[in-house]
């Protein structure tokens, strides 16, 4: 059971207080109707499933209930960085 530093509570908490919430930096298209079926499917279904460090969304379910960002290694499970939602964007980190 690993620890995550919640950026809002500003405290290290056990994993069981959190829930994973998918890959980070996936923005909902502003105009879904303008997308082709393939483009829409890309947003709905496709994820990068990266081997290595990846940015993920997590939510502090049994805590402050806020969503935030975690940079985690999918190889070693090490948590490299934690950020409040919106504090990092894909541009600055990838």
Partner 1 sequence: MRIENHSSHQIDYSQSLTFIFNNKTYKGYKGDTLASALVANDVLFFARSFKYGRKRGLMAAGVEEPNALISLEIGGRYTPNLKATEVMLYDGLSAVSSSNPNALDFRALIKPFHRFMPAGFYYKTFIKQKVWAKVENSLRALSGFSKAPTEKDVDVYDHVFHHAEVVVIGGGVAGISAALEVLNNSKTERVILVDEREHLGGELFNEFSTDDAASTWHKDSIEKLFSYMNEDNSRLTLFLRSAAYAWYDHNYIEVLETNATGESLVTEQGQAARKTIHKIRAKEVILATGAHERPMLFETNDLANIMLSQSVRRFLNEFGVISGKDIVLYGNNDSIYSTAIDLNNINIKCTVVDVRSSEIQSEIVTNVKGLGVKVFQGYAILKANGTHLVRSIELSQVALQGKEWNVSGGSQQLKCDLLATSGGFNPVVHLDCHCGAKTFYDEVSQSFLPQKERNNRQVCGSVAGVGAWQDAVGDAKNKAQLTLKSLGIVKKINQDKLSTNYLNFFNVSQFFTPVEILNRPKVFLDMQNDVTTLDVALSIREGYRSIEHIKRYTAMGFGTDQGKTGNINGIAVAAKFLGISMSEVGTTTFRPAYTGVDFGAMAGREIGDFFDPQRYTTINDCHVSSGAEFEVVGQWYRPWYYPINGEDIHQAVNRECLAARTSLGMMDASTLGKIDVQGSDAREFLSRVYTNAWMKLAPGSCRYGLMCNEKGMIIDDGVSTCINDNHFIMTTTTGGAASVYSALEMWLQTEWSNLDVHLNSVTDQYATIAVVGPNARNLMKVLCQDVDFDRQNFKFMQWRPGTVCGVDARIMRISFSGELAYEINIEANYGYYIWNQVALAGKKWNITPYGTESMHVLRAEKGYIIVGQDTDGSMTPMDVNMGWILAKDKPFSYIGRRSFSISALNSEERFQLVGLLTKDEQVVLPEGSHIIDNKSRSIGYVTSSYYSPILGRSIALAQLKGGLSKMSETVLVKIVQEKQGLKEIPCEVSSSVFYDINGEKVDGND
Partner 2 sequence: MEMTSSKENFNPEFRSTFQSSLDRDGLLICQEDLECSELDDKAVIVLRTSKDHKKNIEVVNEYFGVDLPEALCISSGNNDIKCLWISPDEFWLVDNRQNKAGILDKIELLPKGMSMIDNSAAYGVLEFTGKKMYSLLARWMSYDLGGSLSSKKVVSTTLGQAPVIVFRDSEDKLLMLVRHSFSHYVAGLLKDSAKRI
Given partner 2, partner 1, none, residue 16, with its beta carbon under 5 to 8 Å by kind, binds partner 2
Minimum CB–partner distance for residue 21 and partner 2 (Å): 16
Alpha helices in the chain (DSSP H): 37-45, 90-93
Minimum CB–partner distance for residue 58 and partner 1 (Å): 11
Task: Report the interface residues with partner 2, using CB under 8 A.
Answer: 1, 8-11, 13-14, 16-17, 62-66
C-alpha distances in Å from residue 15, one per residue of 18, 45, 60, 63, 93: 5, 26, 9, 11, 24
């Amino acid at each position: 059971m690993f620890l995550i530093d919640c950026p809002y509570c500003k405290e290290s908490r056990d994993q069981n207080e959190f829930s994973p919430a998918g890959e980070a930096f996936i923005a909902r298209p502003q105009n879904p109707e303008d997308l082709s079926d393939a483009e829409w499917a890309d947003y709905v279904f496709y994820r990068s499933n990266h081997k290595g460090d990846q940015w993920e969304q997590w939510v502090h379910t049994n805590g402050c209930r806020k969503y935030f960002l975690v940079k985690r290694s999918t190889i070693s499970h090490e948590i490299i960085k934690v950020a409040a939602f919106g504090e990092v964007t894909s541009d600055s980190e990838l």
